[in-house]
Amino acid sequence: MTVRGQWLVVLSIVAVLGGGLAVATLALGDELFTVDAGTRAPEIMALTLDDPPVKRTLADYKGDVVLLNVWATWCAPCEAEMPSMERLHRSYADSGLRIVAVSIDNPGREDAVREFIARYGLTFEILHDPTKRIIDDYRTNGVPETFVIGRDGIIRRKTYTQDWNTPANRALIAQLLREGVSHGMPAGGDGADEKKRVPVGGR
């Protein structure tokens, strides 16, 4: 075989491998590009419940420790979790913790979200993502899912239904707030309720 022929064979193999990689990337996107502890938090684009609504992104919380919660009004584990989030908010909001709960309720259900807020007396920030874009951006597969994000924009913990007032969870938040930019924080939490969540695809 000539040198030219050898190069044609090599180039053909490279092309086949490249095509296979592209197909695998499309087919296995969730597995190849995970959103978990140690990765940079993807952007969010959600709306306040004001009239007219205001767009919020992660840039609005730059420099804060963010507890980003993905939830829905029809999710029973979300109802169970929210009161402990409110207590956590009241303990640490003045120290730099921002709890941002993004509802994935369908378009037109803003009043249902407002009623939920009033029922539980929630005072942390509640946003609405009627496009459900956050599901794809954060690779969520159920509600609630929560991402604890450090001041540097790196996810420190990904978890599901929690009592956010356990000593371990409060210690995690306090440590992140003290360090400013933390490194390699442990997971924390007792994990007892972590399997309680509702698959995405509800109302």
Q: Quick one: 121 and 178 in the same domain?
A: yes
Q: Quick one: 122 and 165 in the same domain?
A: yes
Q: Quick one: 49 and 80 in the same domain?
A: yes
Q: Quick one: 27 and 79 in the same domain?
A: no
Those residues with Cβ within 8 angstroms of residue 82's Cβ, 6 or more apart along the chain or in another chain? 71, 101, 120, 122
pLDDT in tens, 138-196: 999 899 999 999 999 999 999 999 999 999 999 999 999 998 644 444 444 444 455 56
Range of the domain at 4: 1-31
Specify the pTM.
0.78
> 77 with 46: CB under 8 angstroms?
no
Does an H or E element contain 170, and which? Answer: helix 167-179
**How much is the mean pLDDT over the chain?**
85
| CA pair distance 161, 116, nearest whole angstrom | 18
Q: Quick one: 70 and 125 in the same domain?
A: yes
Q: Quick one: 17 and 41 in the same domain?
A: no
pLDDT in tens, 13-41: 645 455 544 444 444 444 556 899 999 99
* Token reading at 146: 């929560």
Q: Quick one: 58 and 13 in the same domain?
A: no
Q: How many domains does the chain have?
A: 2
